[in-house]
Structure 1
Amino acid sequence: MATVNEQLQSASIGHAVDLQHLSNAEVRKVIKLLNSVDADLRARLIDAIERLGADSYTAKHLNAVLASVLELNKSIYASIGKVMAESVFDVGQYEVEYQGALFARVIPGQVLVEVQLNRVNLAQVREIALSRPFQGRLLKEWMGDLEAGRAVKIRDGIRIGMIEGQTTDQIVRRIMGTRAEGYADGLIERSRRDLESVVRTAISHTAQGAREAYYQQNDDLIDEVRWLSTLDNKTSAPCRLRDRLVYTNDIRHLPVGHKVPWLSGPGKLHWCCRSTSMPIIKSYEALRLSRGLPEGTRASMDGQVPQSTNYGDWIKSQSAARQDQVLGPARGKLLRDGGLDLDQFYNDKGKLLTLDQLREQDAAAFARAGL
């Protein structure tokens, strides 16, 4: 039977995967919201450019005729900011509830009779979500920066177009992009990528902050904290270095048995950080629990740091249903029956290969999997 700490490690890896899926959904939601004003933005740009006129073009006149465009830009980012504030608060609240439910499920009931689980209150969650900076700024400040950055791109696109003598249609295409390229060739495409980075980082920052708050609220039960990194082709070098390292369970997070600093911590170390953490529960001896505990309970509460398990090992140990949920049904079958390893699903830049690309790379794997 797996020990408490082994169960917590497996659950923490799986939970990190689920949080990535949540991030994906949040990104789709806010990008859809940003894109919802594209038609209106295009119409206002055309009107502004035509009113600007090549003969009367000045910086002052440009700002005047762009007022409607910039108002729309400001309005949509304000809406996105409200949605994101609600989302990160919900993430923080869910995280502390998840940790409480996980501890209650994994730690034997006989232990919880003697060691009480402490909760993190909603005021703490709100402070973590909205009042702690990530990558140097608060969420609302990042939203302001994104809005201002897109406004600059729009102005620059018009200025360049005017200088080059482009038509209204050419200027708008420069700014918005073209349908043939999926609008990825427009100047404001970078705004979408920047927004995605902020969304993913805000979620991982909040989730990890809530996780740490729960661990520290229960420091009488938790001995230390272990860093867990998602080891695949996209894992950053700093996270690879820290994977499986152990730190003290307090605000200092001092290294235990090594010299690699915690810095901002997993999920917060860099933009779009996917690392997480797991708690190391104290042994039943360290907790000074009663000697009347059943032998199986004492064995499960050994206090040992579990043997390392990376993401690839973890996904292979999961049920077929869980593999399909994480990877998709086709990739799940390729993992189980096609003989492919997890890293073969990615190219050398860490981008997930399409099924067509995988089939071209290894048609035999598809045959073995019956696909």
Structure 2
Amino acid sequence: MPTVNELLFDELTAHAVDLQQYSEGVIRRMISLLNRADADLAAELAAALERMPADSFTVERLERLLGSVRELNAAAYASVSEALSGELQAFAAYEAGYQVNLYQSAIPAPVLVRYSIASVAPAQVYSAAMSRPFQGRLLKEWASHIEAERMTKIRNAIRIGYVEGKTASEIVRGIRGTKAAGYADGLLQRPRRDLMAVVQTAIGHTASVARDHFIDSNRDLIKAEVWRSTLDTKTSEPCRIRDGLKYDAQTHKPIGHKVQWLAGPGRIHWNCRSTSTPVTKSWRELGIPIDEISPSERASMDGQVPAETTFASWLQRQSAARQDQVLGPERGRLIREGGLKLPDLYSSSGRYLTLEELHERDAASFARIAA
């Protein structure tokens, strides 16, 4: 029978994987909103440039002609910001409820009689997440920053284009990109990547705030947090060095080491995938008389940190259904039947190999063995 802390570790690790998949869906929706607006922006930009032949180009005239383009750009990011705020508000409510439900399911009944799980108001989580900066700015400030940066890039590209003697259509194509490449080869691709980073970091930030508020509200039950990083080829050095380290639940002071908590998991850097798992107090630390708790409940409520593990070893001992959920059916099968390890599924740049690439890599290995 797993201990309470082992159970919490397993479920919160799985939840962190789910949140990564959730964030990818949110990113796609936000980028889709921006892409729809980009079609109108490109059309307006083309119309503005057609009204300004190269021989009449001046910076002042360009600024006047770009007025409608600026308005479309601002409207696009206002739409994305509003949609993301609504998404995060719903997500904050979900996370607040998830924490309560998980702990109520994991903590033995005799403990819950003495220490009921305190819930956190979703509005409080959302308000705190929106009012607390991540990577130096509030969420609304990040939206405004990317909007302004994108307009600056558009303006500079037009100026350079005129200097280089490009036509209006060539300038617009360079800014938006080509349909054949899915518009990923244009100047607007960089702001898309910036938005993707903001969305993923905002979700990690909101999840961290929800976790912080829940732990603070249940300080009588939780004594520490353990930093958990997804250890693969994409893991950053700040997260790799903190993986498995324990911190005080209230002050986040290091326990048994000197590595500082800093901004915490989920927001220590852009696109942070780290999270934390709790260490609950033992039944002795909670002051529960021995005759009020059974031997099995005493064993499960031991207050110990789960044995050191990595994401790869956690995944290895999960059910086939959960492995397939995390990796996909084919990769899950290869892990179970093909003797592959999690790092084998990644390229040197940290992305998942396609199945074709994976088969090519295996074929090369088999050829070397046969030789």
TM range (shorter): over 0.9
2:82 aligned with 1:82: yes
1:179, distance to aligned residue in structure 2 (A): 2.5
2:94 aligned with 1:65: no
Aligned to 1:369: none
Inter-partner Cα distance in structure 2 for 1:98 and 1:126: 15
The 3 A distance-change label for structure 1 pair 182 and 236 is: same
Aligned to 2:120: 120
Matching of residues 269-280 of structure 1 within 5 Å: 269-280=268-279
Matching of residues 1-371 of structure 1 within 5 Å: 1-250=1-250, 252-292=251-291, 293-363=293-363
Inter-partner Cα distance in structure 1 for 2:70 and 2:102: 47
Instruction: Please tell me whether the aligned partners of residues 334 and 365 of structure 1 are also in contact (alpha carbons under 8 angstroms).
Output: no
Q: Counterpart of 1:247 in 2: which secondary structure?
A: strand
- Scaled by the length of structure 1, what TM-score is found? 0.96
1:160, distance to aligned residue in structure 2 (A): 0.8
Q: Counterpart of 1:52 in 2: which secondary structure?
A: coil
Deviates more, 1:136-145 or 1:123-132: 123-132
The 3 A distance-change label for structure 1 pair 118 and 190 is: same
Instruction: Please tell me whether the aligned partners of residues 88 and 129 of structure 1 are also in contact (alpha carbons under 8 angstroms).
Output: no
1:20, distance to aligned residue in structure 2 (A): 0.3
The 3 A distance-change label for structure 1 pair 82 and 70 is: same
Identity of aligned residues (%): 53
Inter-partner Cα distance in structure 1 for 2:129 and 2:365: 44
Q: Deviations over 1:334-357 (max 9, x none)?
A: 111111111111111111111111
1:174, distance to aligned residue in structure 2 (A): 0.9
The 3 A distance-change label for structure 1 pair 202 and 359 is: same
Q: Deviations over 1:164-222 (max 9, x none)?
A: 11011110111011223332221111010000000000000110111011011100000
AA matched with 1:212: D
Q: Deviations over 1:43-83 (max 9, x none)?
A: 11110111122122111111111111111110010010011
Inter-partner Cα distance in structure 2 for 1:128 and 1:9: 25
Deviates more, 1:21-30 or 1:60-69: 60-69
AA matched with 1:239: C
Inter-partner Cα distance in structure 1 for 2:191 and 2:52: 24
Deviates more, 1:282-291 or 1:53-62: 53-62
Instruction: Please tell me whether the aligned partners of residues 227 and 277 of structure 1 are also in contact (alpha carbons under 8 angstroms).
Output: yes
Instruction: Please tell me whether the aligned partners of residues 93 and 123 of structure 2 are also in contact (alpha carbons under 8 angstroms).
Output: no
- The alignment's C-alpha RMSD in Å is 1.3
1:122, distance to aligned residue in structure 2 (A): 2.9
Inter-partner Cα distance in structure 2 for 1:29 and 1:123: 23
Aligned to 2:369: none
Q: Deviations over 1:244-281 (max 9, x none)?
A: 1000111x310000000000000010000000001100
Instruction: Please tell me whether the aligned partners of residues 204 and 273 of structure 1 are also in contact (alpha carbons under 8 angstroms).
Output: yes
Q: Counterpart of 1:15 in 2: which secondary structure?
A: helix
**Structure 1 outlier segments of 4+, above 6 Å:** none
AA matched with 1:236: S
1:25, distance to aligned residue in structure 2 (A): 0.4
Kindly tell me the number of residue pairs found equivalent between the two proteins.
365
Q: Counterpart of 1:225 in 2: which secondary structure?
A: strand
1:318, distance to aligned residue in structure 2 (A): 1.2
Instruction: Please tell me whether the aligned partners of residues 324 and 331 of structure 2 are also in contact (alpha carbons under 8 angstroms).
Output: yes
Inter-partner Cα distance in structure 1 for 2:190 and 2:178: 14
